Amino acid sequence: MSAAAATLPPAPAPTSGVFAGGAHHFPVRVYFEDTDAGGIVYHANYLRFMERARSDMLRLLGISQRGALDAGEGAYAVSSLSINYRAPARLDDDLIVVSRMTGVGGATVTIAQQVLRGETLLTDGAVTVAFLSAKGRPKRQPKDWVARFTSITTGEISPQ
């Protein structure tokens, strides 16, 4: 290790967002790469923002998607998606993706999501993900995951 590297402070961890009021809040900043030539967020990038928020929400719940995949247990895949575009986000905007679990089944989870700039709703949608086996077939989710999802959906717990 070089002397310069030894004097660097520890790298900050990426944010995973926070739970508040039974919803997950995930910050996103709009970068140039997210926009079109006019500085407006390209429509498909809202899906990326929402995906990152869902992944980090699971991480905060103590669910390791990578661990499940590596162990051959399975992985989530989007089975249904709806999205409404209400107002544009622009270059350098600070956004919040708010995610709420609205339904939990044996093999599926439905999550309602909103992208906000301050109090302005920019985009909202709902996604249903299905847990799939290594062979790509629907499979029951791990029971402890379902219990965590259900406790969030019913407002029984609000993890920090």
Q: Which residues are catalytic?
A: 36
Q: How far apart are CA 28 and CA 19, in angstroms?
A: 15
Q: Do 54 and 126 meet the contact criterion of CB atoms below 8 Å apart?
A: no
Q: Do 126 and 82 meet the contact criterion of CB atoms below 8 Å apart?
A: yes
Unique residue bearing structure tokens 């299905």: 130
- In three-state secondary structure terms, 12 is coil
Query: In 10-41, which positions are buried (b, 16+ CB within 10 angstroms) versus exposed (e)?
Result: eeeeeeebebeeebbbbebebeeebbeeeeeb
- In three-state secondary structure terms, 19 is strand
Q: How far apart are CA 153 and CA 69, in angstroms?
A: 25
